[in-house]
């Protein structure tokens, strides 16, 4: 997908898919952490909740809109997408976070037959979307059609995992799918890296699994810093606040990580734009 360029220094809108292969790794926490970090930088952010569970929509305390993500996939037009955009309860001094909310009807769009004639719908609807610097797509915890829709519409793909036995295997399958979508329908897509979530640095098992990921995928594929396990993140989600709004040392630790990760992703996007223009 080729996004419309904007007149500021960021260039094209940056669309980031956040995906995993299983539930329970904190994928939505990472997606919203990145979205909040971007908004705190003064950027205009849109979260697209493609997970039928709708956790991102609930945490953002989104207003009920005239349409939702399921509507967009059923009628993939710019007008349908614009109707689905709703305001959230998250507020920042300069930036903002809006959302295209999830709906249980999304599940009927997740069937994947494995056929090669995949025609993206979300990418078509997003082509003329304006008014945002960053779009974060929260994918379902699987590699069905919804995740493929997200990847086909994105410039960067972030894989979320925990430092566990199955982490390396899941990340490898996700990277394979990213490369498949890049080679087939979206040549602008780039694998941004793996974010290790809920890391307990003092636990030998967690350190070992992180080293395992690095050994398999390479040092540059595992994004630094990892997201530490902190109770503050669950507190923020339960109250529907961005992590930066929670006043605790643990919350500050996590907010700093997300800010560094977002800075890295923004730089990746700028570097990719620069290389394409050379």
Q: Does the pLDDT at position 5 exceed 50?
A: no
Residues 6+ apart with CB under 8 A from 216: 168, 171, 172
Taking the CB of residue 126, how many other CB atoms lie within 10 A of it? 27
Q: Six-digit token pair at 234?
A: 């669950």
CA distances from 102 to 71, 106, 177 (A): 10, 7, 23
User: What per-residue confidence (pLDDT) applies to 3?
Assistant: 38
> How many Å apart are CA 228 and CA 198, to the nearest integer?
5
User: What per-residue confidence (pLDDT) applies to 277?
Assistant: 66
Length of the chain: 278
Identify the three-state secondary structure at position 121.
coil
- Model confidence pLDDT, tens digit, residues 20-54: 988 889 999 999 999 999 999 999 999 999 999 99
Gyration radius from the chain CA atoms:
17
Lowest-confidence region among 5-19, 68-82, 221-235: 5-19
Domain annotation for the chain: domains and CATH numbers:
14-277 (3.40.50.300)
User: Could you give the maximum distance between any two Cα atoms of the chain, in Å?
Assistant: 51
Residues above pLDDT 70, as percent of the chain: 94
Q: Six-digit token pair at 77?
A: 């037009």
Identify the three-state secondary structure at position 56.
helix
- Model confidence pLDDT, tens digit, residues 207-248: 999 999 999 899 999 999 999 999 999 999 999 999 999 999
> Residue 15: beta bridge partners?
135
Question: Over the range 214-245, which residues count as b (16 or more CB within 10 Å of their CB) and which as e?
Answer: beebeeebbbebbbbbbebbeebbeeebbbbb
Q: Six-digit token pair at 242?
A: 């961005």
Alpha-helical (H) ranges within the chain are 27-40, 55-59, 69-74, 78-84, 122-126, 145-152, 167-184, 204-217, 231-239, 249-277
Residue written as token pair 């004639």: 117
CA dihedral 143, 19, 28, 209 (to 10 degrees): 110
CA distances from 226 to 216, 253, 266 (A): 17, 11, 17
In this prediction the pTM is: 0.93
Hey, what long-range contacts does 174-183 have (CB within 8 A, 24 or more apart)? 174/19, 174/20, 174/21, 174/143, 175/217, 175/221, 177/143, 177/147, 177/148, 177/151, 178/151, 181/148, 181/151, 181/152
């Amino acid at each position: 997908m080729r996004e419309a360029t904007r007149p500021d220094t960021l260039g094209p809108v940056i669309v980031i898919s956040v995906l995993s292969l299983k539930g329970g790794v904190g994928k939505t926490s990472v997606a919203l952490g990145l979205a909040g970090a971007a908004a705190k930088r003064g950027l205009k952010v849109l979260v697209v909740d493609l997970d039928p569970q709708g956790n991102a929509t609930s945490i953002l305390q989104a207003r009920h809109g005239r349409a939702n993500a399921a509507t967009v996939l059923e009628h993939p037009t710019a007008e349908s997408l614009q109707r689905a955009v709703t305001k959230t309860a998250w507020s920042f001094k300069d930036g903002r976070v809006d959302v295209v909310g999830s709906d249980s009807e999304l599940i009927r769009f997740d069937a994947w037959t494995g056929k090669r004639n995949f025609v993206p719908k979300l990418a078509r609807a997003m082509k003329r979307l304006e008014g945002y610097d960053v779009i974060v797509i929260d994918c379902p915890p699987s590699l069905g059609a919804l995740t493929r829709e997200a990847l086909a519409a994105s410039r960067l793909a972030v894989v979320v995992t925990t430092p566990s036995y199955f982490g390396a295997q899941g990340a490898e399958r996700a990277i394979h799918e990213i490369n498949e979508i890049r080679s087939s329908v979206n040549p602008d897509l780039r694998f941004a890296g793996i974010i290790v979530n809920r890391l307990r640095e003092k636990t030998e098992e967690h350190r070992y699994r992180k080293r395992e990921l690095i050994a398999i995928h390479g040092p540059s594929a595992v994004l630094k810093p990892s997201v530490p396990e902190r109770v503050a993140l669950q507190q923020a989600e339960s109250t529907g606040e961005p992590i930066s709004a929670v006043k605790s040392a643990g919350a500050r630790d996590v907010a700093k990580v997300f800010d560094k990760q977002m800075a890295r992703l923004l730089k990746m996007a700028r570097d990719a734009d620069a290389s394409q223009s050379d």
